[in-house]
Amino acid sequence: ETGVTQTPRHLVMGMTNKKSLKCEQHLGHNAMYWYKQSAKKPLELMFVYNFKEQTENNSVPSRFSPECPNSSHLFLHLHTLQPEDSALYLCASSETLTGTSGGAVETQYFGPGTRLLVL
């Protein structure tokens, strides 16, 4: 289970801190995703990158700032978070975003997540 890795696995931060989450995929994929998983809520897509270009920002507050320096690495920079931002943050990757609408979908592979607690 080392295709998609995330660090750190656990993070506790204060509301005034700045921290970063890191995701790395070893699958040769070109699309990467950030999801938020909160208790009793569905997984929420936050950001999508395809070939290092951001293709989706799902109305995420600006206190979350993604960065994708290359197709293998994805970061989520955090600053001035709120307690309600406490959640499991999952990274995922897929081969690419292919074709036009209705075209082939590539399976998304998830990392183990970073459990974030904002105090």
Partner 1 sequence: GENVEQHPSTLSVQEGDSAVIKCTYSDSASNYFPWYKQELGKRPQLIIDIRSNVGEKKDQRIAVTLNKTAKHFSLHITETQPEDSAVYFCAALAGGSNYKLTFGKGTLLTVNP
Give the interface with partner 1 as residue ranges (CB under 8 A): 1, 4, 31, 33, 40-43, 45, 48, 55-56, 90, 94, 97-99, 101-113
d(Cα 48, Cα 70) in Å, to the nearest integer? 13
CB of 42 to partner 1, least distance (A): 4
CB of 10 to partner 1, least distance (A): 11
Altogether, the residues listed in the chain come to a count of: 119
Considering the complex, state which of residue 4 and residue 81 has its C-beta at the smaller distance from partner 1: 4
Considering the complex, state which of residue 75 and residue 110 has its C-beta at the smaller distance from partner 1: 110
CB of 104 to partner 1, least distance (A): 8
Considering the complex, state which of residue 58 and residue 82 has its C-beta at the smaller distance from partner 1: 58
Considering the complex, state which of residue 6 and residue 85 has its C-beta at the smaller distance from partner 1: 6
CB of 63 to partner 1, least distance (A): 23
Pairing of strands 64-70, 53-57: unpaired
